[in-house]
Amino acid sequence: MAARTLQQEFEVKVLVLGGDGFCGWPCAVNLADQGHDVLIVDNLSRRKIDIDLEVESLTPIVSIGERLKAWEEIGGKPMRFVHMDIAHEYQRLLDLLLEEKPDSIVHFAEQRAAPYSMKSSATKRYTVDNNVNGTHNLLAAIVESGQDIHVVHLGTMGVYGYGSHRGATIPEGYLKVEVPQPDGSRFEEEILHPASPGSVYHMTKTLDQLLFLYYNKNDKVRITDLHQGIVWGTNTDATDRDPRLTNRFDYDGDYGTVLNRFLMQAAIGYPLTVHGTGGQTRAFIHIRDSVRCVQLALENPPEPGERVKIFNQMTESHQVGELAKKVAALTGAQVNNLPNPRNEAVENDLIVDNRCFIELGLNPTTLDDGLLKEVVEIATRYADRCDRDRILCTSAWTKTQAQAIGTAS
């Protein structure tokens, strides 16, 4: 099926929940760049967490107001902003839907870091409260509003788990199973792929799946759930147009994604921190492809009455240790194997089916496309903003891991 563009049909109104964040901001900018009416809704909690953790984005980021002003000044279609906590301001959310009548909603408004979700009982409870309540409030408000709104949700590949899949390819959301009957016969059906979350954060995303399944079945809410791999890179072509549009670059042990952390460490001459043997296999996607995938999902919504669409939003899989060797070869950095703070398999396989986005026209950005050096250059430019005391991951999954990494109290 050939992908159609939103512009070929009509201008749409899109609410981008969590549109000030690492993935949400470049997504919002891209949709505005396509000519759509974009309203960002965000409680700015990620900026508050920076203050709590006493660590800032490696790239300097300006306020949301300055971002929006800069975008308009360079000729972009103006975007609007509403400061709202969708997890705790249900009536305001419902009123917003009734007033704005959006065609689509992109839902990024969740605490996105597994290590942060495991940092303490407080961050565990915050992650569940923020993520699950936010998603449920959104779905309940859509139903109460009586509107037909397509929801695109940014999920995670982590819902499938990172144990051994015995060489089996992970399908896009649904697994075909045969169910034996007492008379010896069998019937075949498709079910949600069994979930195996590896952190409280991943657990909230698996709960999201069940909320989507129910509201789609019961109330016919049209939903696309994107199971995204680990994002690397910093900017898109649009956010590169003005320094004030720059996307955030997290490098700390709680929020920094593994490949960006490696590239930053290489840029400042810090040994690459590989946890355990480095045999963990993960799925990856560049921020530019992430933005493109959200656009493709919006352009190809489910039909009325169709089940939840699930796409595996990733472009390639790599073992973490092999990634470290690749970065070391590129930059001359040293590799340092440290005890793993996560309670996970020492090694795992990960073979992923991502044909849906490929068939819709995604041309994947790979690690071999020269963008690794681009990220190193960004990290080098802002190396003076790095707090070396914040590089190591200090959030442990259990007391056993805490003792191993030396953070047990």
**Which of 119, 124, 205, 309 is an active site residue?**
205
- Cα angle 358, 360, 362 (rounded to 5 degrees) comes to 50
Whether the CB-CB separation of 5 and 297 falls below 8 Å is answered with no
**Cα separation, 122 vs 83, whole angstroms:** 24
* DSSP letter assigned to residue 103: S
- Does residue 105 sit in helix, strand or coil? strand
Q: Which residues pair with 104 in a beta bridge?
A: 14, 150
169 is catalytic: no
- CA-to-CA dists, residue 37 to 6, 182, 194, 236, 393, angstroms: 12, 56, 37, 19, 39
C-alpha count within 13 angstroms, C-beta hemisphere, residue 135 = 26
How far is the CA of 229 from the CAs of 156, 162, 285, 308, 357, in angstroms? 6, 12, 6, 19, 13
**Residue 234: active-site member:** no
Catalytic member of 59, 127, 135, 156: 156
CA distance 150 to 142: 10
- 201 flagged as catalytic: yes
Catalytic residue selected from 126, 160, 201, 215: 201
- Strands 230-232 and 316-319, by their bridges, are unpaired
For 379, the token pair is 């990290």
Residues annotated catalytic, as ranges: 156, 201, 205
